[in-house]
Amino acid sequence: MLFVLVVLGASIASANSVFISTTNLTNLLDQVVVYALLAIGELYVIVAGDIDLSNASVVAASGTSYAAMAEHHGLVLAGVVALSIGIGIGVLNGVITVYGRIPSFITTLGTLTAVEGFVLLATNGSPIYNVPGNFVHLGTGKWLTIPISVWIVLVCAVIAWYVLAQRPFGRHLYAVGGNRMAAEVSGISVARVRITNFTIAGFLAALGGIIFASRIGSGTPTMGANYELGAIAAVVIGGGDLMGGQGGVTGTLIGVGILGVIANGLNILGVSAFWQEIAVGVIIVAAVILGRMTSGGERPPV
């Protein structure tokens, strides 16, 4: 997939040199930030053999609540509330899935619909524009010429890599995804691991919502719509297996990069957005087939 990413970038750059301009590459990084956060959270869930469809609704719920509270209660308290919403939804997903013995697909599909409806009801379907001037700094500010939001993603990615590759929780996570019964017999608390995964996914989705709202300067109830599909696609393209037990942070970020390059590159080339959807679908199927053909067992957590 890294080879695919390089070839895609080189092909688009040869067709239009604007693609490799500093301005466009910075915009590209900015555009994939939210997808990257959602994908990292989705990675935890997918490795354990579950799936989370609710993260896009968490983006909307956290982003709008952050915007709504920022003016009168300050950015810090607004951020704490927004992140708490994501954590709460994540815990709820995990508890219902694990102790209710309901497939995570059904649980998170229900959460997705319910939270989206609640956000629309709370905002009356209207964006929240009354935000303080420093509201947009997190989403548009830069440090060492690189967007602050990109630095946040890098920190989250490094932490995720360390946890999955170096900590006992990471080994437990891959064990649960590989064989839940064997993991339980080995003394691993499968329930704790799965609930923790959903909680992490909810937290990262909420963080993505805060950055999204900061970038556009408002809280929009439809922000993040369909982003859950892109996050899942990035994990799968990067080597994740929807059956669990496989996937890593590096591959997931490469998957995010591929999706971002396709969208950005085709826009530069003036290709219809409909073709973008077709291209992404073809790449997802090809990635799954390639993974099945080349996998000789569980992939290491890289």
Mean pLDDT computed over 35-63: 94
| 299 within domain boundaries | no
292 pLDDT band, cuts 50/70/90, is: low
Mean pLDDT computed over 53-61: 93
Structural domain of 219: 2-294
DSSP at 128: B
Question: What integer pLDDT is reported at residue 302 of this predicted model?
Answer: 39
Give the global pTM. Answer: 0.90
Question: What integer pLDDT is reported at residue 300 of this predicted model?
Answer: 42
Mean pLDDT computed over 213-223: 89
In angstroms, the first-to-last Cα distance of the chain is: 14
| 300 within domain boundaries | no
State which amino acid sits at residue 247.
Answer: G
Most confident of 27-31, 268-272, 275-279: 27-31
| 159 within domain boundaries | yes
Question: What integer pLDDT is reported at residue 193 of this predicted model?
Answer: 94
Cα–Cα distance measured from residue 227 to residue 234, given in angstroms and rounded to the nearest whole number = 11
Give how far the C-alpha of residue 152 lies from the chain's centroid of Cα atoms, to the nearest Å.
Answer: 13
| 78 within domain boundaries | yes
301 pLDDT band, cuts 50/70/90, is: very low
Question: 84-88, 201-205, 255-259, 273-277: lowest mean pLDDT where?
Answer: 273-277
| 125 within domain boundaries | yes
| 302 within domain boundaries | no
| Residue 298: closest CA among 183, 187, 197, 190 | 183
Question: What integer pLDDT is reported at residue 291 of this predicted model?
Answer: 64
- Structural domain total, the chain: 1
Cα–Cα distance measured from residue 111 to residue 119, given in angstroms and rounded to the nearest whole number = 12
Q: Which is more confident, 296 or 121?
A: 121
* Lookup: tokens for 128: 């929240």
Cα–Cα distance measured from residue 237 to residue 179, given in angstroms and rounded to the nearest whole number = 22
Q: Which is more confident, 83 or 129?
A: 83
| 211 within domain boundaries | yes
Coil, helix or strand at residue 74: coil
CATH of the domain at 37: 1.10.3470
| 301 within domain boundaries | no
